[in-house]
């Protein structure tokens, strides 16, 4: 094993001191918010964060120190947001975390889009959720709240779109992460009572299943020739007729089911 570069050691020591100072400042702020030591500890943490980041830059192209610097910056941002009740500082924390991930994975970004699309989407979702929590429990965001919904949709699209597309372009096995992500989004929607999360998650699961079976059927089509093709077409036509008939007969039941769903989601966002 080679010797560790001095900049690596300096980076590690500085970041540990920065994290320790931020932890002490946050602990003191939650107990004695007016203490003069809080500001001094914060400046102490910020100074060593800058020293550690500078050492991480000197260590490049070694990625480890820069990842550590970004993660520490995210922790300091979150601590500052909690201590000072700052929405901007809290929202910056997942951005630093996402940046640390993107720096750390390196060449994998070019090999598979999931390695960067999913963390970027998660960062967007986290920021939207922080803003939503702030609006409910801290200070109303007013017109700024309208920007949270498109940001959340963009985040959900980022985490779902790539595995869904790769079911067709890469392998049907990509349905596994697509279904898992869809179930997590749907579960998150149920826990938080937000309809868009439930519907996007459930829609992702359905689309993943359809793409898997549709892909398998598409592979079989060129192999069906002669009488087999006509038998398959007739069978598909019969199935479609039966579905249409059942929908027509069950129109009242469908309307009642839709009404019950509306009542179920009446208190959801």
**In the predicted model, what is the mean pLDDT of residues 222-244?**
65
Instruction: Indicate whether 100 belongs to any domain.
Output: no
- Is the pLDDT at 4 greater than 70? The verdict is no
- Is the pLDDT at 185 greater than 90? The verdict is yes
Instruction: Indicate whether 259 belongs to any domain.
Output: yes
- Calculate the average pLDDT of the chain: 81
Instruction: Indicate whether 254 belongs to any domain.
Output: yes
DSSP for 16-72 reads HHHHHHHHHHHHHHHH-TT-HHHHHHHHHHHHHHHHHHHHHHHHTT--HHHHHHHHH
Contacts of 186 (CB under 8 A, 6+ apart): 197, 198, 201, 202, 205
Instruction: Indicate whether 269 belongs to any domain.
Output: yes
Cα distance between residue 169 and residue 190, in whole Å: 31
- DSSP-derived secondary structure letter, 224: -
Comparing C-alpha atoms, which of 151, 11, 149, 148 is closest to residue 71? 11
Query: What was the pLDDT predicted at 183?
Result: 93
Do residues 44 and 80 touch, judged by C-beta distance below 8 A? no
Instruction: Indicate whether 135 belongs to any domain.
Output: no
User: For the segment 63-88, what is each residue's pLDDT rounded down to a tens digit?
Assistant: 888 999 999 999 999 988 888 888 88
Number of domains in the chain: 1
User: Considering only 9-23, 58-72, 99-113, which range has the smallest mean pLDDT?
Assistant: 99-113
Query: What was the pLDDT predicted at 96?
Result: 92
- Is the pLDDT at 156 greater than 50? The verdict is yes
Query: What was the pLDDT predicted at 179?
Result: 93
Residue 15, burial from CB neighbour count under 10 angstroms (0-12, 13-18, 19+): buried
Give the structural domain span for 253: 227-269
Lookup: tokens for 27: 């602990």
Query: What was the pLDDT predicted at 1?
Result: 44
Do residues 211 and 168 touch, judged by C-beta distance below 8 A? yes
**In the predicted model, what is the mean pLDDT of residues 82-107?**
86
Query: What was the pLDDT predicted at 181?
Result: 93
Instruction: Indicate whether 4 belongs to any domain.
Output: no
Instruction: Indicate whether 190 belongs to any domain.
Output: no
Question: Distance of CA 243 to CAs 137, 196, 218, 238, Å?
Answer: 48, 28, 22, 9
E strand or H helix that includes residue 177: helix 175-192
Instruction: Indicate whether 245 belongs to any domain.
Output: yes
């Amino acid at each position: 094993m080679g010797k560790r570069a001095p900049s690596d050691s300096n980076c590690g020591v500085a970041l540990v001191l920065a994290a320790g100072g931020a932890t002490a400042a946050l602990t003191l702020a939650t107990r004695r918010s007016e203490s003069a030591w809080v500001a001094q500890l914060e400046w102490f943490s910020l100074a060593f964060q800058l020293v550690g980041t500078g050492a991480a830059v000197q260590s490049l192209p070694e990625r480890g120190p820069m990842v550590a610097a970004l993660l520490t910056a995210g922790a300091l941002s979150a601590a500052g947001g909690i201590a000072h009740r700052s929405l901007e500082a809290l929202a910056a924390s997942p951005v630093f975390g996402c940046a640390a991930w993107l720096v750390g994975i390196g060449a994998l970004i070019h090999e598979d889009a999931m390695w960067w699309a999913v963390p970027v989407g998660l960062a967007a979702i986290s920021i939207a959720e922080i803003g939503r929590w702030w609006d409910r429990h801290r200070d109303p965001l007013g017109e700024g709240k309208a920007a949270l919904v498109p940001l959340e949709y963009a985040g959900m699209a980022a985490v779902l779109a790539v595995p869904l597309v790769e079911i067709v372009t890469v392998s049907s096995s990509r349905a596994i992460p697509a279904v898992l992500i869809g179930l997590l989004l749907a579960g998150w929607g149920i826990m938080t009572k937000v309809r868009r999360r439930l519907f996007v998650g459930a829609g992702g699961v359905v689309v993943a299943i359809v793409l898997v079976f549709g892909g398998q059927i598409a592979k079989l089509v060129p192999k069906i020739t002669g009488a087999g093709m006509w038998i398959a077409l007739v069978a598909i036509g019969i199935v479609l007729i039966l579905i249409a008939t059942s929908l027509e007969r069950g129109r009242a039941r469908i309307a009642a089911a839709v009404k019950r769903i509306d009542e179920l989601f009446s208190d959801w966002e």
